[in-house]
Amino acid sequence: MAASPSELTEQRLDPESIAAVDASDLLADVAGLPEHVRDAKWKVESAQLTPWDSPGGMIVAGMGGSGIGGLLARAMLGDHASRPILAARTYGLPAWTTPDVTVLCASYSGNTEETLACYEAAGALGARRVVVTSGGRLAELARADGVPVIPVAGGFQPRAAVAYMTVAALEVAGLCGAGPRMGSELDVAADHLEQLVVEWGAEGAEDSQSKTLARALCDSVPVIVGSGVTQPIAYRWKTQLNENAKIPAFAHELPEMDHNEIVGWQNASSLARFAAVFFDDADTHPRVQERIALTRELISEQATGTFVVASRGVTAVERVLSLVLLGDLVSLYVAVLRGVDPTPVDVIEELKGRLD
């Protein structure tokens, strides 16, 4: 019989209880985020790239846990991005792509067919290519074509290599002239993340923000709402809740949500248990902050809970990574509360296999 909501939320989230469910120790990779940020910088350096000029900006081609790095890097650059930084998440590049765009092909496994198609498309166009991968077909092709490869260590779930993908995108943006270099911001952010791992990690208090939120979300369908800088983080939370906790979760953004989805909430509780999480950040527009308060008020009767989560840190790099870490931990804790091993994503593997 399924556990009742109160049974779920009463469970402890200490290292032993987590280890009992987290069979492959995904927690170690999530808590390793600060170290991954530092190591990722070295990995980019090891590719020995010298700066070049791409007046058309940068496209990050990649899917899922690999593609999100481009969106997070763009959020970190914010107003400091001087050229377009866009994502390609399908079989090919946007029609307007020209040879003066850098195409960063990001695939942890190196075998994702959509990313391989973008790699070929960028080559056919004569666009400058850079690859970030742990191996696979993408590494083979890049080596044969003389395309630089930023290496990523093997042995992770692709979504756990988020720091590697994000740092690679940020550094390549700097190298091709789409934004400033952010090396020292990354060092500061890694130190800041270390403190947050202590506060929010398994050894942290049972009433830490991460564990409290996991208990609040574990028996509902979470809807995560970002805005501006936090928009891709809302998507990251959604996908981590999907893949780690194996539950449906959705992401939306303000102010857009107030022009459509807010109406749908009028009947939410008659369909399912929905909870809403809103992100607040130093860069959130003041009118969006007012909208968060009002939207919460207007949907609260239909929700199992509504929550506002503030980013932590000073620079955009720190703030973005703080919320990425929190979402990764929350999704892992929700998995543990639900008794679900957070690591395997069998249905993704099955689908990829059936397409072969």
Query: In a 3-state reduction of DSSP, which class is residue 278?
Result: strand
Of 64 and 232, which CB lies nearer to ligand F6R in the complex structure?
A: 64
Beta carbon of residue 74, minimum distance to ligand F6R (angstroms, whole number)? 18
Query: What's the token pair of residue 175?
Result: 């190298």
Please indicate whether residue 259 is annotated as part of the active site: yes
**Of the residues 34, 65, 313, 342, which one makes contact with ligand F6R according to CB under 6 A:** 65
Task: Quote the least distance from Cβ 69 to ligand F6R, whole Å.
Answer: 10
Q: Is 345 in the site for ligand F6R (CB under 6 A)?
A: yes
| Assigned token pair, 316 | 């955009």
Among 66, 97, 102, 322, binds ligand F6R (CB under 6 A): 66
Residue placing its CB nearer to ligand F6R in the complex, 68 or 81: 68
Name the packing angle between helices 231-243 and 316-337 (round to 10°).
20
Cα–Cα distance for residue pair 54/11, rounded to 1 Å: 52
Residue keyed to tokens 């990001």? 106
Q: Does 157 bind ligand F6R (CB under 6 A)?
A: yes
Q: Which of 234, 244, 191, 225 is nearest to 303 (CA)?
A: 225
Question: 63 near 106, Cβ under 8 Å?
Answer: no
User: Catalytic residue at 352?
Assistant: yes
Catalytic hit among 171, 185, 243, 261: 243
Task: Decide whether 131 or 316 has the Cβ nearer to ligand F6R.
Answer: 131
DSSP type of residue 50: P
Give the shortest CB-144-to-ligand F6R separation in angstroms: 19
Q: Which residue's CB atom is positioned nearest to ligand F6R?
A: 64
* Active site (annotated) includes residue 243: yes
Q: Looking at 27-35, 60-68, 87-95, 251-259, which segment touches ligand F6R (CB under 6 A)?
A: 60-68
DSSP state of 48: -
Choose, by CB under 6 A, the member of 198, 271, 293, 348 that binds ligand F6R: 348
Q: Report 235-294 residues binding ligand F6R (CB under 6 A).
A: 243
Within residues 101-130, the interface with ligand F6R by CB under 6 A covers 107-109, 112, 115
> Which token pair is 131?
């690859």
Q: Which of 230, 323, 235, 228 is nearest to 285 (CA)?
A: 228
Q: Return the residues of window 162-221 that contact ligand F6R according to CB under 6 A.
A: none
Query: How big is the site for ligand F6R, counted in residues (CB under 6 A)?
Result: 15
Query: In sequence order, what DSSP letters do the residues of 178-199 get, joined into one string?
Result: SS---HHHHHHHHHHHHHHHHH
User: Tokens standing for 146?
Assistant: 């003389």
Nearer to ligand F6R, 5 or 32 (CB): 32
What does the alpha-carbon distance between residue 231 and residue 233 come to, in Å, rounded to a whole number? 5
Could you tell me the end-to-end alpha-carbon distance of the chain, in angstroms, rounded to an integer? 37
Residue 226 interacts with ligand F6R (CB under 6 A)? no
Residues designated as active site: 243, 259, 352
**What is the binding site for ligand F6R (CB under 6 A)?**
63-66, 107-109, 112, 115, 157-159, 243, 345, 348
